[in-house]
Amino acid sequence: MPKLLLNLRHVPDDEANDVRALLDANGVAYYETKPGPWNISVGGIWVKEDAAMAEAKRLMADYQDQRGMRARAEYAAAVRDGTAETFWMQLRAEPIRVLLTVFAIVCLLGLVALPVILLRG
């Protein structure tokens, strides 16, 4: 019975392509389902055979470890170079969006605190 290896919701194309290439290179039989017409159901990569699932999970764990280390190294390099995106860079680039987000957060915090304030008073 096929088993879901990777849900493709919020998965970048490069990562999905890497996983397909990894499974192909190691001879793991899989198939892919596409998202539904209204994105109610998302696509996925499914391993066809139960026996191959353990190997596929091991390959995915190794791949995710490598991808995580690469992403952390890229972020550390961006911080060292001063190119990592900061709050102030976002504020300069999109001031309206940032200010509206901060305003929404303050309003939500006020709504959460409102019952406490009303019960005290």
**Domain limits of the chain?**
1-84, 85-121
Look up the CATH architecture of domain 1-84.
Answer: 2-Layer Sandwich (3.30)
Structure tokens at 117: 């304030």
Q: What pLDDT does 37 receive?
A: 82
pLDDT tens for each residue of 12-36: 999 999 999 999 999 999 999 988 8
Q: What pLDDT does 68 receive?
A: 96
- The radius of gyration computed from the CA coordinates of the chain, to the nearest angstrom, equals 22
Please give the share of the chain, as a percent, with pLDDT higher than 70.
99
Q: What pLDDT does 80 receive?
A: 94
E strands, the chain, are 3-7, 30-33, 44-47
Structure tokens at 57: 């999970």
CA angle 116, 118, 121 (to 5 degrees): 105
Comparing CA positions, the residue from 63, 46, 52, 7 lying closest to residue 27 is 52
pLDDT tens for each residue of 60-82: 999 999 999 999 999 999 999 98
Q: What pLDDT does 16 receive?
A: 94
Encoded amino acid at 44, one letter: G
pTM of this prediction exceeds 0.85: no
Three-state secondary-structure class, residue 44: strand
* Contact criterion met (CB below 8 Å) for 42 and 35: yes
Q: What pLDDT does 39 receive?
A: 75
